[in-house]
A and B are shown apart, each in its own frame.
Chain A
Amino acid sequence: MKSLLLGTAVLTLSAATAFAASHSVVRLGTEGAYPPYNFLDDNGEVAGFERELGDELCARAEMTCEWVTNDWDSIIPNLVSGNYDAIIAGMSITPERDEVVDFTQNYTPPSPSAFAALSADADIEGGVVAAQTGTIQAAHIAESGATLLEFPSPDETIAAVMSGEADAVMADKDFLIPLVEENANMTFVGEDIPLGGGIGMAFRESDPEMRETFDAAIQSMKDDGTLNELIVKWLGADSPKF
């Protein structure tokens, strides 16, 4: 009897370690070019809202996390082919993306997108508007009357406005706020537009366990208010909270 019990214990333990071994290191993929969500600090390390959030989520889920940067264009193909395990890159939850990957619940409320330009009377309805390729903002402009000018990285969309190549840039408002505040020439134009269902982490559809683990961790951060603290710290007091 004793040996049977011991045997069961050993079996349970080894099963647990097997699960831990296959999932003990979670590779988090991000872009590293979208402050304040994610960017590279002076040391070349991933930093920002999602860095702190991701590290906290991993601590709560008792997993070791490793940060990987990847180009925005190929961020979903590299997830589904297994080069990292999750995307945490300011990616809004949309039905189109949901067909390919599975999202956790959102960790920011649906937040507004905005236009920024060099002058307040920039033509955002019929002019040239810059946006990053494959974003909800790019999709929005494509459907509006404006001409869409796409760039692979967020920096280049801003540079296009600065150089006059585009009349305005459309992006998440939280990304534009620091730029507008610290650049006297730049101002917000027009109304804010609510797009997307908030930002979530994306996982492979075949990875429901890990998605649920992180989903629970996000819920616990919502429940104890730490998520709101992070939002205020990184995205500003005016950003929508839970």
Chain B
Amino acid sequence: MPTCADPSVLEGLSWLMCYLTTGKHISLYISVGTVLLLLAITAPTALLFGFGGATAARSRIWPLSWFGRGYIAVVRGVPDIAFFLFFVIALDQAFEWLRHQVKCPDWDEPIRQGSDFIVCAEAKLPLSTSPQWVHETYGFFVAVLTFAIVFGAFAANVLYGAMRAVPHAQIETAEAYGLSPRQTFWRILVPQMWVYALPGLSNLWMVLIKATPLLFLLGIEDIVYWARELGAAKTPRFTDYPHGDWRMWYFLALLVFYLAFTRVSEVVLDRIMARLTRGQATLAGEAQRKAGA
């Protein structure tokens, strides 16, 4: 069993084994988990934001409706990269400002001093004395929130359209049976809208998968960052594993990862679609009924 203490004497597979298990590579493997975790948390959160946005946009109460429409229009209109660069810093500062107002009421210095943003030490989020993992977790949740707000706006638009696509006769029938608007919404409209929303939502999911490299703008080291860092040419002076420009191989691995992930998503989404179509008054639903009969 060769040891990895002196990689310069190793060759072939044993060199590769040592190379692929350096601390840096472990960070790459962990970042795969980070990305998957981000997707797992962001997707339902964004859907929730989207549902809220769509419901607000079609509300009869006009301030709520304006809020929903405004959210959809503004967030969809702002470029993602601007959102990720500036909004996150603004969001972080907004949290700190709120905590500052509560925790340090007798602070007499201005919050903004030139370009600096100063709040009292107790209001820093996370506290500057916190260990690094707290900072990273906080950064992760800010990232989830930002992704959820951005993708929530797109989801809101999709759901808004889907709600309007439910045949109007269904709503009228529900009303004729004496269902209240709330009952009509939850029992007739919402169960039927998903089948119209799913194609749009599945597109969003695919875009979300690919948007994760934006994480690095938020200070989170994602897989693309590590692939670029590991693949860059290394001179023997700064590493035990010198190599040329290997970015192509790392990005090839990323390509395989993303394609495989996309394929899995497609299979799962197809199943959900089949389940949602059952008994629906759509062409696909009709086809399912005939095939089963």
Contact = CB atoms under 8 A, between A and B. Distances in A.
Nearest to B93: A81
B155 to A, nearest CB: 27
B251 interface: no
Contacts of B229: 32-33, 40
A44 B241 CA distance: 13
Nearest to B121: A22
A205 interface: yes
B219 A70 contact: yes
Nearest to A26: B128
B92 A182 contact: no
A80 B237 CA distance: 34
B128 A27 contact: yes
Nearest to B122: A22
Interface in B14-40: 22-24, 26-27
A42 B24 CA distance: 6
A15 to B, nearest CB: 14
Interface string B228-245: 110011011111110001
B117 A159 contact: no
Contacts of A204: 116, 118
Contact of B117 (A33, A48, A81): A81
Contacts of B113: 205-206
Given A42-B239, A80-B116, A81-B93, A155 B233 contact: yes
Nearest to A203: B116
A80 B114 CA distance: 10
Chain A, interface size: which category? 35 or more
Interface string B151-186: 000000000000000000000000000000000000
B85 interface: yes
A17 to B, nearest CB: 12
Contacts of A41: 23-24, 238-239
Given A27-B128, A71-B216, A81-B93, A159 B238 contact: no
B239 A205 contact: no
Interface in B216-233: 216-217, 219, 221, 228-229, 232-233
Nearest to B96: A82
A96 to B, nearest CB: 13
Interface-centre pick from B24, B115, B135, B236 (highest chain A CB count, 10 A):
B115
Interface of B: 22-24, 26-27, 85, 89, 92-93, 96, 113-119, 121, 124, 128-132, 135, 216-217, 219, 221, 228-229, 232-233, 235-241, 245, 247
